[in-house]
Structure 1
Amino acid sequence: MDSQKASASVTPLPMCEWLSTERAEDHLVAWSESREWRQHEFRRDVLSLIASLSATPYSRWALCLEDNYSFAVALLAVIYSGKKPVLPGHFRPAVLAEQQSEFDALITDLPLSPGCPVLRFPIAPQAALNVLPQWPQDVSVILFTSGSTGKPQRIVKPIFCLELESRWLGTLWGTEFADARFAATVAPHHMYGLSFAFMLPLSLGLPFATTSVKYHEQLHSLAAAHPLVFISSPAFLERLDPALNTPKLRQVFSAGGPLKHDAARLVEQTCGDLPTEIYGTTETGIIAFRQQHQPEAVWTLFGDIAFSPRPDGNTSLISPLLSPSGTFMLSDEIKMLPSDPRHFELLGRKDRIVKIAEQRVSLTEIEQRLCHLDLLSEASVLTVQKRGRVYVAAVLVLSRSGEQFIDSQGQAALLDNLRQTLRSWISPVALPRYWRIVPVIPLNQQGKRSAAELQEMFL
């Protein structure tokens, strides 16, 4: 019997105690389909990497690791060494080059050459320390926003905020997690993956999968072998195969954007339970949750969080997860229920207004108009700069009707049809000047649209 049995009844451990003797030597930390990692190996590997890091003069270490166990080892070793962990979020060379000033050296298990010193996994074992160094005061990690609506922004996230999140989540769902294992489609380099696929299982003493789930068949295989908590996103869940009935999952979480009701029901049909959707941001951490028992179900705020409407129509968030101010102005349009301010509707983003030729242009409106057309199944609208001027651009995924239209009349006729239709709703300056037709909209590791890849289409 694994030593984490009935761990849901145990208070989540803070990060500074994950390697303590509170957990047995044979406690299961992580697993893959071919092997398992126990507490004594976890502690040994962290101590060995601390020895390697301590021999270097570099203070800011970027973590670019595909293997989740290696990530856990690296993050703890960097913190115990008194260094600063930086989570770039993207492993694309262009993004790393753009963020080069944020780190001094890199730890990776990938063939990356970012122009700075690199420690590569697997790292040759060092003469490990016998005792862990003292846990530093005021520990934090550097993250970056997903970049789904622009250039990723740097965020300093104190560890105590992540630990508080884990306590809230454990209080709400800890009994459902008992004896389960965690698997995820999202990586721990962004806020959602860090909180749910990394902090939560390690805080509760539950094992996590070392590799990300990429296909429904992988999920099916894992769920057949173990009780599973699954951390995912709409990009994965909306593409589940209804013919492949997965053994009932203990819990399914989704974040990165609201799930369509049909997709929520598909998860219920395929995985045995409605997914719990999480609303939050990198800056704020978790804010609210919902399950769509009916279409467009309202959201419920987590316990110690509140909204404060502003005279300008915006909404301020008040949360102990915000440091140091405790307040944050949301970029989303919130409609609180008059009868219960702890429940609300999420109406979409407000911050996609750009100025073109001195006119205010809503990229969201253009995108929504396109998505409602029969010729298209999906669209992403952005701005591009050409010869010093800003233009609207659109990336399109055709519906079956759109494919038939192109086959019979050609792409030029299709784009002309789209322009003429849009003229009924938007001003000429807001009409997309540049168009790209693609099989799918590119997504980042968190299942959000990749602004970098979308921009690259128009270079």
Structure 2
Amino acid sequence: MDSQKAGSARLTLAMENWLMPVEGEDRLISWSRQREWRQSDFRRDVLALIGHVRGLPASRCALCFNNSYHFAVGLLAVLYCEKTPVLPGHQRQSVLEEQIAEFDALLTDCALTLPCPTITLPECLDSEADFPLPDFPRDASLILFTSGSSGKPQKIIKTLSCLHTESQWLANTWGEALHQARFVATVSSQHMYGLTFRFMLPLTLGLPFYAESVEVHEQLVNMAQQYPLALVSSPAFLTRLDAKITPVNCLKVFSAGGPLSAQSAEKIRQLCGVSPNDIYGTTETGILAHRQPQEPETPWRLFEGVSLRAKNEQSIRVFSDLVSQSEGLELGDNIALINHGREFYLLGRKDRIVKIAEQRLSLTEIEDRLIQLPVIEDACVLAIEKKGRPYIAAVVVLSPLGRTQWHALPQAEMNMRLRQLLRPWLAPVALPRFWRVLPAVPLNSQGKRAYADLQELFL
């Protein structure tokens, strides 16, 4: 291990030590526009919440938070109570009602009403606990959900030891460069990327994180004038940075959710003062590779501890300490290995999962939601490109009720109504932008959907 890696490794804190006080120090854990939370606040709040959670008969507690400090308190309290944290990854009432079988209780700072015991933060953090901090469960795990190729949420179990290993890799790679940084993010801590970079990494390095989400460039300008920042973001936010607004100086910029182009990376460098680090990984595998795009075809470099093995041209399997399966996990992307398998080029998705605005969307799920509507008899959804931007498009076959409404309403109003019916179930970016109504979905000679013909409908 070189000196940089050795130095950064000594700075790291295991999760069981996050609440341990240090004599003469009350370090900053998190802050918002209204207040700061220090080590003493963090320990007190987790203990207070433990007092509420330990009495629940529930063993699986869903965490749905807008505030990342509340999320941190909730996650640790559930773990210290030897219960399992469940991260649905969203706060949509309708979808949570469908997932209710996956959890027994809810911890939240949102206005959610579900048929299960619910603890609301920060109201429940007023009391002082009169008991010591329990032992930390080192063999614990948590549950996340991601979109599978079937369109149904796919349950992923992550052990804490796996999350700690992942944080250690990141600390070894960038820990020294992040010295004195404050972490700010545009992504949620309740998805794998945000969980690792927005939540785990700063606490592992003993660095503070911003409890709210950064939403506009102006917020970055204001904070960068006060603190050295590490920005955890995505191409959807970074490529919208306004060149007319004052540039900011960040210590680091991380991006994940979709590859950055070299042109976008250069724009980010000019506006943020540092070349962005593009991160590649999946919820199932954890982090896999990184790069700093500086030319049109910049390859991805694997993290130490990750290896890829090609069974054939269509099957690449991942092996690492973050993957528990001895046979590895097959990648959902097509890639081309180079440099003795330590670097690769991304060649696109294998399945019907697409990424738009850095959100992973299941075309199958969108189709299922459409078919459940009383006005739709059949549907086919695809991703199309208009003026260089990707969109969701839908070909639908109307039911008798749908045909009645279609003839009675202007087409634009009917399209708007269909989108409105889908809003309780789908993220805004997943709502179809373009529509075509047909008597039947076209099929090819093999009886399968003729996607080439469908694409032509939107040219």
Q: 1:202 to 1:236 in 2, by over 3 A?
A: same
What is the aligned counterpart of 1:454 among 415, 419, 431?
Answer: 431
In the alignment, the residues of structure 2 paired with residue 83 and residue 292 of structure 1 have an alpha-carbon distance, to the nearest angstrom, of 42
CA distance in 1, matches of 2:36, 2:29: 8
Within-5 A mapping of 1:219-368: 219-311=220-312, 313-325=314-326, 327-337=328-338, 339-352=339-352
Distance 1:122 1:91 in 2: 17
Unpaired runs of 5+ residues, structure 1, are 1-6, 353-362, 369-379, 402-414, 417-434
Distance 1:13 1:115 in 2: 38
Aligned CA distance change for structure 1 residues 262 and 450 (closer, same or farther; 3 Å): farther
Name the SS of the counterpart of 1:177 in structure 2: coil
The whole-number CA distance in structure 1 between the counterparts of 2:184 and 2:257 is 17
User: What is the CA distance between 1:35 and its match in structure 2?
Assistant: 1.9
Query: How far apart are the structure 2 equivalents of 1:258 and 1:436?
Result: 31
Question: Measured at CA, do residues 23 and 312 of structure 1 come closer, stay the same or move farther in structure 2, by a change above 3 Å?
Answer: farther
**Post-superposition CA distance 1:153-208 (Å, at most 9, x none):** 11000011111111111111111100110000011110000000000000110000
C-alpha spacing 1:208/1:95, structure 2 compared with 1 (3 Å)? same
Alignment of 1:359-398 (within 5 A): 382=363, 384=367, 386=371, 391-394=379-382
Q: Using the TM superposition, name which of 258-267 and 8-17 deviates more.
A: 8-17
The aligned length equals 390
Question: Alpha carbons of 1:340 and 1:450: their partners in 2 closer, same or farther (altered >3 Å)?
Answer: farther
Q: TM-score, normalised by structure 2?
A: 0.78
Instruction: In structure 1, give the amino acid aligned to 2:261.
Output: K
Partner residue of 1:161?
A: 162
CA deviation profile, 1:322-380 (whole Å, cap 9, x unmatched)? 1243610111001011x43201101111113xxxxxxxxxx97xx99xxxxxxxxxxx9
**Distance apart, 1:395 and its partner CA:** 6.6
CA distance change for structure 1 residues 64 and 381 in 2, over 3 Å: closer, same or farther? closer
Residues 396 and 307 of structure 1, relative CA distance in 2, 3 Å threshold: closer
Task: State the secondary structure of the residue aligned to 1:236.
Answer: helix
- Is the 2:21–2:39 Cα contact (8 Å) retained in structure 1? no
C-alpha distance 149-209 of structure 1, shift in aligned 2 (>3 A) = farther
Residue 21 of structure 1 and its aligned partner are, at CA, apart by: 2.8
Aligned partner of residue 323 in structure 1, secondary structure: coil
Task: For 1:348, give the aligned amino acid.
Answer: G
Contact kept in structure 2, 1:11 and 1:204, CA below 8 Å: yes
Deviations 1:88-125 (A, max 9, x none): 10111122112111111101111101221111112333
Q: Which residue of 2 aligns with 1:99?
A: 99
Alignment-derived partner of residue 409 in structure 2: none
Alignment-derived partner of residue 47 in structure 1? 47
Cα pair 2:335 2:347 within 8 Å, conserved = yes
Tell me by how many angstroms 1:146 deviates: 5.1
Give unpaired runs (5+ residues) of structure 2: 1-6, 396-413, 438-459
Structure 1 length-normalised TM: 0.78
Distance 2:221 2:281 in 1: 28
The alignment partner of 2:165 has SS state of: helix
CA contact (8 A) 1:381 1:394 kept: no
SS of corresponding position for 1:348: strand
Q: Name the SS for the 1:242 alignment partner.
A: coil
Which moved further from structure 2: 15-24 or 295-304?
15-24
The structural deviation recorded for 1:317 is 0.5
SS of 2:132 mapped into structure 1: coil
How far apart are residue 224 of structure 1 and its match?
A: 1.3
What is the identity percentage for the equivalent residue pairs of Structure 1 and Structure 2?
45
Change (3 A) 1:452 1:138: farther
* Distance of 2:46 and 2:186 partners within structure 1: 25
Given residue 76 of structure 2, which amino acid in structure 1 is its aligned partner? L
State the AA in 2 paired with 1:294: E
Classify the secondary structure of the residue corresponding to 2:183.
strand
Quote the offset at 1:137 in angstroms: 3.8
Displacement of 1:312: 6.0
1:170-249 map, 5 Å: 170-249=171-250
Deviation at residue 451 of structure 1 after TM alignment: 8.8
